[in-house]
Amino acid sequence: QAAADPMSSSDAPEDGPKEASSISQNISDADAFKILLEMKMKKRQKKPTLPSTVTELDTEDGSKVYVVGTAHFSDSSKKDVVKTIQEVQPDVVVVELCQYRVSMLKMDEKTLLKEAKEINLEKLQQAIKQNGVMSGLMQMLLLKVSAHITEQLGMAPGGEFREAFKEASKVPFCKFHLGDRPIPVTFKRAIAALSFWQKVKLAWGLCFLSDPISKDDVEKCKQKDLLEQMMAEMIGEFPDLHRTIVSERDIYLTYMLKQAAKQIELPRASEAEPRKYIPAVVVGVVGMGHVPGIEKNWNSDLNIQEIMSVPPPSTSSKIFKFVIKATVFGLMGYGCYRIGQRTVQFILSMPAAQSYLQKLTEIRSQH
């Protein structure tokens, strides 16, 4: 509106709205884009004052990427994200989420807090249906870790991503990208990397997680994300699992940030006008544990095809899957047997049933 009507409200004639409408109709898309882009550039800080958690990276064509390292349960991290986006006025914001977790961006804190604390049968069934038995169970165990942190701190996860989503919507021409590898791929690759006994040991450790966590612990973990640090402590003896959950995702996140940092083509007034490009400015919002890996991979030629493939299930996975199914069906069968036994005993204890049985006994004795 400001671009369409250069006159101030005090100088505008009575038919100002009509004139503004006429002007806006005469402005081409390219001109409107240029005007709004100039406004954005004026607001963008040439030497932004950024939090200490921000790492600046450059591409060969002059684009800049500001990676905000966050703790997933931290008010301070949310403030860092807001300040960075306001200072640099990015063209793209990339967050450490995939399409399977995008719902957390629009849910309110209260609902998310409730959802994060509740681990029920419905969620388990959904996880298994979506990812398979093994990966679904692994996802539920990791959700249990997240729920444990949520319950201890009274804070819903992903606050920094929601803040990034809100702030990106306030910046003209700012795109919002999901930069993390899909959860099913990560879990299936993680499961394939473990032996049968490693799976049992990991599941045991996750099931009996109960250590208390304070908010100070979270802020200390800005050098390494809390959730990933807790996982690292439990999977330290499983380097293959660390590779699939952390190192491979470092590569994927780096690849997505570099894709987002490609130069931006300016709109043209006509097809005859030559194409013009400008360097992009990107803000990446990722867990602090991924920042060293992103820096390490930044100048490498990356191919994500290999880390997107899902290997076939191993023999140990098939055995573990069979054991889980046999246990579930066994418990269900035993439950049905116990319920049936109690039902029969209850019916037989009723006076009417006892009277009927007594009559049958008398009839048999007479014959």
pTM of the model: 0.70
Q: What is the mean pLDDT of residues 230-257?
A: 79
pLDDT band of residue 16 (cuts 50, 70, 90) is very low
In this predicted structure, what is the pLDDT of residue 96? 95
Out of 274, 294, 312, pick the residue that ends a domain: 312
Residues 292 and 326 both lie in one domain:
no
Residues 203 and 334 both lie in one domain:
no
What's the CA gap between 158 and 150, in Å, rounded?
A: 11
Strand order in the sheet with 281-287: 54-58, 64-70, 281-287, 92-95, 175-178
- Domain hosting 358: range is 319-366
- The reply to whether 18 falls in a domain is no
- The reply to whether 149 falls in a domain is yes
Residues 157 and 194 both lie in one domain:
yes
Residues 96 and 198 both lie in one domain:
yes
Backbone CA torsion sign across 45, 46, 48, 53: positive
What's the CA gap between 120 and 115, in Å, rounded?
A: 10
Is the pLDDT confidence value at 283 over 70?
yes
Residues 251 and 270 both lie in one domain:
yes
pLDDT band of residue 20 (cuts 50, 70, 90) is very low
Q: Alpha helix (H) ranges present in 27-132?
A: 29-43, 75-88, 109-117, 121-131
Residues 306 and 175 both lie in one domain:
yes
Higher-pLDDT residue of 341, 102: 102
What backbone phi and psi angles, to 5 degrees, belong to 256?
-65, -35
Higher-pLDDT residue of 174, 267: 174
Residues 137 and 263 both lie in one domain:
yes
Is the pLDDT confidence value at 13 over 50?
no
Q: What is the mean pLDDT of residues 153-165?
A: 83
Out of 312, 330, 355, pick the residue that ends a domain: 312
Residues 237 and 353 both lie in one domain:
no
- The reply to whether 290 falls in a domain is yes
Out of 295, 312, 329, pick the residue that ends a domain: 312
pLDDT band of residue 223 (cuts 50, 70, 90) is very low
Residues 143 and 182 both lie in one domain:
yes
In this predicted structure, what is the pLDDT of residue 2? 35
Residues 282 and 325 both lie in one domain:
no
pLDDT band of residue 14 (cuts 50, 70, 90) is very low
pLDDT, averaged across the chain: 76
What's the CA gap between 142 and 147, in Å, rounded?
A: 9
Pairing mode, if any, of strands 92-95 and 175-178?
Answer: parallel
- The reply to whether 98 falls in a domain is yes
Quick: pLDDT tens for 66-125. Answer: 999 998 777 899 999 999 999 999 999 999 999 988 888 877 666 766 665 565 566 666
Residues 288 and 356 both lie in one domain:
no
pLDDT band of residue 255 (cuts 50, 70, 90) is very high
Query: CA-based angle 80:82:87, to the nearest 5?
Result: 95
- The reply to whether 111 falls in a domain is yes
| Residue keyed to tokens 């360097």 | 279
DSSP assignment, residue 97?
-
Is the pLDDT confidence value at 311 over 50?
yes
Residues 105 and 184 both lie in one domain:
yes
What's the CA gap between 16 and 149, in Å, rounded?
A: 57
- The reply to whether 16 falls in a domain is no
- The reply to whether 11 falls in a domain is no
What tokens were used for 115? 């959802």
Is the pLDDT confidence value at 152 over 50?
yes
User: For 116-231, where are the E strands, in sequence order?
Assistant: 175-178
How many domains, the chain?
2
- The reply to whether 55 falls in a domain is yes
